[in-house]
Chains A and B, each alone.
Chain A
């Protein structure tokens, strides 16, 4: 019996399915969405599974409405999820800004496909990395995570919910079509082994409650609607009480504070993996499904005697400036392979502050970058050096 209990629970899951499983483990109780390739299976899984646990699923009339419903459900107390792809992600942007500005937890999945516009619905891309950072207007912080395996989709979906509840902010999960549709082995964690974080509730009586007054960690406790704490939420610049303001000092303080709550906790938020970087003179920086290819490239390069390592980014936003800066001091060359024409490479350049050469390698033809072509890029750079 004991042996059976200890046996790992292994499942073969599709990436989108793993996302749904992760959300359920994290305590999701509400999903609103709209069909779009390549994210639709997340909605289908949620439609099937949420009512089984007393949760709610609704297919809204569009992506704008889906995002609005998710925010509404979160305010009313349920952990909420929506999932989409490029065109739908564009539509969600205004409401995403509303959620950031009003510090409403929720998780938004973007299974990236080729763009712009309708683009390549069934092919992968990493073209929405900057959209994740700057898609909604105005200065705002954001947390975005990029898994590279189906197993990571599951664990990072849980993480995304935890970050959103802990820091009262939407979290974007950036998949791409490859890992969203791929089937892979997943180790299902036992519920008791999972850390599940729930939003802080107010400890003061309703008449003293200020919905946007932070605790020391920079995050204000959150009362759900219907719990006896009447308060106002508005997309207008607002006071700690939630009421519209025009006082420039208060506005400045508020906007800086919502940035600070992320920066202040950056050590907790940054997730990354280092692979054979100790003695490396060339580093690859990759994320999402390209990180899988990059890892293979490192092995191939090592076989050829080249000292190559990999920094796999998992937290994309906030950006790991310090980690990359340290790496840039150590290596001579950083190559950033990504399925776009150079988005994260710009951030890597900025963070490197000229301490080493930074070279982009991009593809936008809807094909996954393979290990051999990254190796080719490394060898080409070796030639240039000579």
Chain B
């Protein structure tokens, strides 16, 4: 019997390239289930990714897919959406991809509020290149380029997205794929720029360097460092430093960029565009 997942994957691409215990497969499953629940026309779905382990997801799903260059998935997706606003465009990125090399594109996509859904798999490290620290590696944690501990302050991706102007912002985990699926579903369905951060694991790099021994321990660790949004609000500032709030942070209605541009077209055509 075929599962929901089977109906959407490119079988010839398997086995996948991910390490045992990697959370990317869980996220892939959640994305597929969310799309399936929404019952979208498959021919109108486009998935765009950048570079990194997480970005390989686009190779595994049978939509129009594009594995672009490092950090630039959002501007590629912006061009696609502008050219054909009927397309449902999903952008899948890793933490380094989205917020280091791609950080500028991320805030500008949010500022424009262009109708894209960004799913960021945050394993807090550069996995593909072997465990270098990323802008989402927590302070004091270790990476292959932070052998004495990370002194950088990490971004709060969700706060950044809200400040930059996104319409929908949520955070889930691979520990709770059902919640992640439901957050993704809401994000996909939202008009405007929607963001879902999924806290994931990288047992072979992050786990190894930070003494979290197995994939199971990593899942437990994710459970320990996350609390519901409501519980998070009751924490002291010091306690907050060690935890990630989980859930939906923002859902607001604001005209998306492609709708606004349609108005520009109308205006230009009415006035003859002299001004």
Residues of chain A at the chain B interface (Cβ within 8 Å): 29-30, 32, 48-49, 51-52, 54, 56, 58, 60-62, 64-66, 68-78, 80, 94-95, 98, 225-236, 243-244
Q: Is the CB of A234 within 8 A of B83?
A: no
Q: In the assembled complex, how far is the CB of residue A302 from the closest CB belonging to chain B, in whole angstroms?
A: 48
Chain B 103-146 interface residues, beta-carbon cutoff 8 Å to A: 104-105, 108
Q: Is the CB of A76 within 8 A of B80?
A: yes
Q: A69-B79, A243-B13 are in contact. Are A235 and B69 (CB under 8 A)?
A: yes
Q: In the assembled complex, how far is the CB of residue B16 from the closest CB belonging to chain A, in whole angstroms?
A: 12
Q: In the assembled complex, how far is the CB of residue A180 from the closest CB belonging to chain B, in whole angstroms?
A: 23
Inter-chain contacts of A49 with B (CB < 8 A): 273
B58 within 8 A of A: yes
Q: Is the CB of A72 within 8 A of B78?
A: yes
Q: Which 6 A-B pairs have the closest CB atoms?
A: A72-B79, A69-B79, A76-B83, A65-B75, A51-B268, A68-B75
B251 within 8 A of A: no
Inter-chain contacts of B12 with A (CB < 8 A): 243
Q: How large is the interface on B (under 10, 10 to 19, 20 to 34, 35 or more residues)?
A: 35 or more
Q: Which of the listed residues B63, B80, B261 has the most CB atoms from chain A within 10 Å of its own CB?
A: B80
Q: Is the CB of A235 within 8 A of B68?
A: yes
B265 within 8 A of A: yes
Residue from the list B44, B80, B108, B261 in contact with A72, Cβ < 8 A: B80
| Complex Cα–Cα for A17 and B196 (A) | 43
Using A58-B78, A234-B67 as known contacts, list a sample of 6 further A-B pairs with CB atoms less than 8 Å apart, ordered by residue number in A: A51-B267, A69-B82, A71-B76, A73-B83, A232-B67, A243-B59
Nearest residue in B to A30 (C-beta to C-beta)? B83
Q: Is the CB of A61 within 8 A of B80?
A: no
B272 within 8 A of A: yes
B100 within 8 A of A: no
Inter-chain contacts of B267 with A (CB < 8 A): 51
Q: Is the CB of A52 within 8 A of B273?
A: yes
| Complex Cα–Cα for A361 and B42 (A) | 59
27 A-B pairs in the complex with CB atoms less than 8 angstroms apart: A32-B75, A48-B273, A52-B272, A54-B265, A56-B82, A56-B83, A60-B78, A60-B108, A61-B105, A62-B104, A64-B75, A65-B78, A65-B108, A66-B75, A68-B69, A69-B76, A76-B46, A225-B46, A225-B66, A226-B64, A227-B43, A230-B62, A230-B64, A232-B67, A234-B58, A235-B51, A243-B13
Residue from the list B58, B69, B108 in contact with A98, Cβ < 8 A: B69
Q: A232-B65, A235-B67 are in contact. Are A65 and B273 (CB under 8 A)?
A: no
B214 within 8 A of A: no
Q: In the assembled complex, how far is the CB of residue B178 from the closest CB belonging to chain A, in whole angstroms?
A: 27
Inter-chain contacts of A71 with B (CB < 8 A): 76, 79
| Complex Cα–Cα for A72 and B64 (A) | 12
Inter-chain contacts of B269 with A (CB < 8 A): 51-52, 54
What string of 1s and 0s marks CB contacts (under 8 Å) between B84-111 and chain A? Answer: 1011000000000000000011001000
Nearest residue in A to B79 (C-beta to C-beta)? A72
| Complex Cα–Cα for A260 and B103 (A) | 38
| Complex Cα–Cα for A64 and B272 (A) | 32
Residue from the list A78, A98, A243 in contact with B83, Cβ < 8 A: A78
Inter-chain contacts of A80 with B (CB < 8 A): 79, 83
Nearest residue in A to B64 (C-beta to C-beta)? A225
Residue from the list A51, A78, A227, A236 in contact with B273, Cβ < 8 A: A51
| Complex Cα–Cα for A13 and B87 (A) | 38
Q: Is the CB of A61 within 8 A of B108?
A: yes
| Complex Cα–Cα for A355 and B43 (A) | 58
Nearest residue in B to A241 (C-beta to C-beta)? B12
Q: In the assembled complex, how far is the CB of residue B91 from the closest CB belonging to chain A, in whole angstroms?
A: 11
Q: Is the CB of B273 within 8 A of A233?
A: no
Inter-chain contacts of A70 with B (CB < 8 A): 79
Q: In the assembled complex, how far is the CB of residue A241 from the closest CB belonging to chain B, in whole angstroms?
A: 8
B72 within 8 A of A: yes
Q: A51-B273, A72-B78 are in contact. Are A77 and B68 (CB under 8 A)?
A: no
Q: Is the CB of B87 within 8 A of A76?
A: yes
Inter-chain contacts of A225 with B (CB < 8 A): 46, 64, 66, 80, 84, 87
B225 within 8 A of A: no
| Complex Cα–Cα for A236 and B68 (A) | 9
Inter-chain contacts of A233 with B (CB < 8 A): 65-67
